[in-house]
Amino acid sequence: MMNFALIGNQNCGKTTLFNQLTGSNQHVGNFPGVTVDSKEGIMIGHEDCTIIDLPGIYSLSPYTNEEIVTRDYLMNQQVDCIINIVDATNIERNLYLTLQLIELQIPMVLAINMMDEMKANGGTIKINDFSKRIGVECIPISAFKNQGISDLINAAIQTARERRKPLRLDFCSGAVHRCIHGISTMIEDHALALHMAPRFAATKLIEGDSILEKQLKLTENEIDLIEHSVTEMERECDLDREAAIADMRYQFIERVCKDNVVRAHESREYIRSVKIDTILTGKYLALPSFALIMALVFYLSFGPLGSFLSDEFALLIEKIIAFISELLLDYGLNTVVFSLVVDGIFAGISSVLSFMPVILVLFFFLSILEDSGYMARVAFIMDKPLRKLGLSGKSFVPMLIGFGCSVPAIMSTRTLSSNRDRIMTILLTPFMSCTAKVPIYAVFTLAFFPKHAAQVMILLYATGILVGIFVAFLLKSTVYKGDPIPFVMEMPNYRLPSAKSVVLLMWEKAKDFLTKAFTVIFLASIVIWFLQSFDLKLNLVADSADSILALLGHGLSFIFAPLGFSDWRAATALITGFTAKEAVISTLAVLMHTTIAQLPAALNILFTPISAYSFLLFTLLYSPCVAAIAAAKREMGIKNTLVMIFFQCSIAWVVAFLFYHLASFIILWL
């Protein structure tokens, strides 16, 4: 079995190439940071070849989590060949990572992507001469158009089988040359003991890589000699250690590109993007444009289009359940089993499934915005306001993903190099209302605010954002004082969204939704049915108020009584919401002995309009589902995760409490 590591800068077409090489259906986005963790796939036509898609990085310096993931994989795992993908339209910047990969002395091929775009705009690369200069076989490709992929596969497999390493490039000179070669000789035995190329280790030590210094187990005397060499180099070059190495690499890149790259003129895509950006990212129109676009997306998703599709789908599900119920009755199925299937499983799952059209419509529009390149602009737009909250614009990407699902949103914080920024972003992300809460909003707005459903939805989303802003100010002023990391992000050209990518994203969300419905919600529905059908002595109860679930709900209802909803069924629904937010509605449907279509009318027994909105506020703000909690634990540890759960539940309780009593006072006063 041979392993091929796919490595490149962010937004260079890496995930698109991965899909072409493996036939995988990974989502491809037109903004940086789509790949958060490594992904594996089998190369098409070669069952013995595995492709590992590593996170997009700009260097092998361990500054961000994705750089650490990539570097650790290259250093500690068996890699038979590196497939380094570079963007032909940004060749100079991309080659900086290439030179570092060459220093690793691992077999490698260079996939020069987007050659079709470069040629269309009058540019080209002298591939043969270029390949000789950098010492690596180069294959021109267009990952998007599936051009040159078979040549790349053949070259990569041949390189791996022959263990053909890059030619050793000695492109340094002067003080940098003396420093690198002196340190390489000094640490050679340490580097070879770790199966590491001495030149790579030397350049990293010069750059001040403390992690590598510990791995090499250098003596104090060796460390002193290295620092003395670096100091001499800095004095002669009049540059600091990192700048001196960067300058050496860029000088070589400049010479290679000058001789072998015919530069393209400004592309039509770039010119068009600049014109569009005068409006969408302009000083005065950027934020209003973003607010207007998102308001339109939410209005269409939760308003006329989404509601119509959801209602029709709910009717279809109801007819299917009615048909199956009649078959089971005709069959003479045991009444307890019939109750389990119809009142438990069907009621729970159907209550969630009926809202799938709304979620698909929402992600249809969001994927169009993402694929077009607009989302990268949004992160840029939000950098300035987020800095006032103690965060950078890069934190906006996880928060934006949080409107879909908190789990990938929390995982995507790995792209933040600052631990402070990462933890702050994770703590704030759950306040961005995920799509799992859409069924709750939809049922309650239909029950209590039918004429203002879209406005209530938008208000809830806005409330989550405002609470997030308040919490950010609070964290910035207390626990997480300090400045945010500098914001650097690739700004892609605007492009027409790919129909395949849009459909794939919608399918991913539908698959996630269906998986959750038939696993977590399925199991939760069975558990809820059992608890509300039996008492502590395991006797079947005629009234669910005498059940185990009622006993548990009554024991916890005092917590929610000050928020306006003291009924045990409301408390129970919130508790099951910890498993998955969709379970809140399925629990209420089971406990109210009703169908999803009849649930809005039945909720009038438990809530008033004020207490209903208080309930919505609590579900909006309280702790995310167990999957998101597990993701948070993985990213920031158990201690910070427990603090997050308590903190968010407390914020939710306080906000719902203040709203309920303030609204009640205003109505009483009026």
Residue 274: pLDDT band by 50, 70, 90 thresholds?
A: confident
Residue 34: pLDDT band by 50, 70, 90 thresholds?
A: very low
Q: Is the pLDDT of residue 260 over 60?
A: yes
Under a CB-based contact definition with an 8 Å cutoff, are residues 67 and 51 in contact? no
Query: What is the dihedral sign for C-alpha 12, 16, 20, 22?
Result: positive
Angle between helices 453-477 and 286-302 (to 10 degrees): 130
109-123, 460-474, 514-528: least confident range: 514-528
Under a CB-based contact definition with an 8 Å cutoff, are residues 551 and 572 in contact? no
Residue 516: pLDDT band by 50, 70, 90 thresholds?
A: low
Position 435 scores a pLDDT of 76
In sequence order, the 6+-apart residues with CB closer than 8 A to the CB of 541 are 533, 534, 535, 547
DSSP states along 185-252: HHHHHHHHHTT--HHHHHHHHHTT-HHHHHHHT--HHHHHHHHHHHHHHHHHHTS-HHHHHHHHHHHH
At 83, which amino acid appears?
I
Q: Is the pLDDT of residue 221 over 80?
A: yes
Question: What mean pLDDT is predicted for residues 435-456?
Answer: 84
Residue ranges in 518-622 assigned as alpha helix (H):
520-533, 548-560, 568-576, 583-591, 599-602, 609-621
The C-alpha torsion from 438 through 442 and 445 to 450, rounded to 10°, is 140
Quote the radius of gyration of the chain (alpha carbons, Å). 29
Tens of pLDDT, residues 229-248: 999 999 999 989 889 999 99
* Distances 567 to 44, 186, 515, 533, 560 between C-alpha atoms, Å: 57, 74, 31, 18, 9
Give percent of the chain above pLDDT 90. 25
Q: Is the pLDDT of residue 94 over 50?
A: yes
Position 627 scores a pLDDT of 74
Question: What mean pLDDT is predicted for residues 537-560?
Answer: 81
Question: What mean pLDDT is predicted for residues 649-655?
Answer: 93
Give percent of the chain above pLDDT 70. 91
CA 68 to chain CA centroid, nearest Å:
17
Position 352 scores a pLDDT of 64
Position 288 scores a pLDDT of 87
Tokens of 480: 């997480």
Tens of pLDDT, residues 586-602: 778 877 877 666 778 88
Position 597 scores a pLDDT of 66
Q: Is the pLDDT of residue 28 over 80?
A: no
- Rounded Cα distance between 185 and 199, Å, is 9
- 294 closest CA partner among 359, 355, 360, 366: 366
The whole-model pTM stands at 0.66
Residue ranges in 85-169 assigned as alpha helix (H):
91-103, 115-120, 127-134, 149-162
Of residues 376 and 584, more confidence is placed in: 584
DSSP-derived secondary structure letter, 287:
H
Question: What mean pLDDT is predicted for residues 511-536?
Answer: 74
Position 165 scores a pLDDT of 93
Scan for tokens 């995920």, then name that residue.
434
Of residues 418 and 496, more confidence is placed in: 496
Pick the most confident of 36-45, 158-167, 516-525. 158-167
Q: Is the pLDDT of residue 150 over 90?
A: yes
DSSP states along 335-375: HHHHIIIIIIIIHHHHHHHTTHHHHHHHHHHHHHHHHHTHH
Question: What mean pLDDT is predicted for residues 305-318?
Answer: 80
Q: Is the pLDDT of residue 505 over 80?
A: no
Question: What mean pLDDT is predicted for residues 260-280?
Answer: 82
Number of separate helices (H) and strands (E) present in the chain: 32, 8
Instruction: Count how many Cα atoms sit within 13 Å of the Cα of residue 366 in the half-sphere of its side chain.
Output: 22
Tens of pLDDT, residues 450-491: 888 778 888 998 898 888 888 888 888 877 776 666 566 667
Average per-residue pLDDT in the chain?
Answer: 83
Can you list the domains of the chain with their CATH numbers? Answer: 2-162 (3.40.50.300), 174-262 (1.10.287.1770), 287-482+492-669 (no CATH)
H or E stretch including 112? strand 108-113
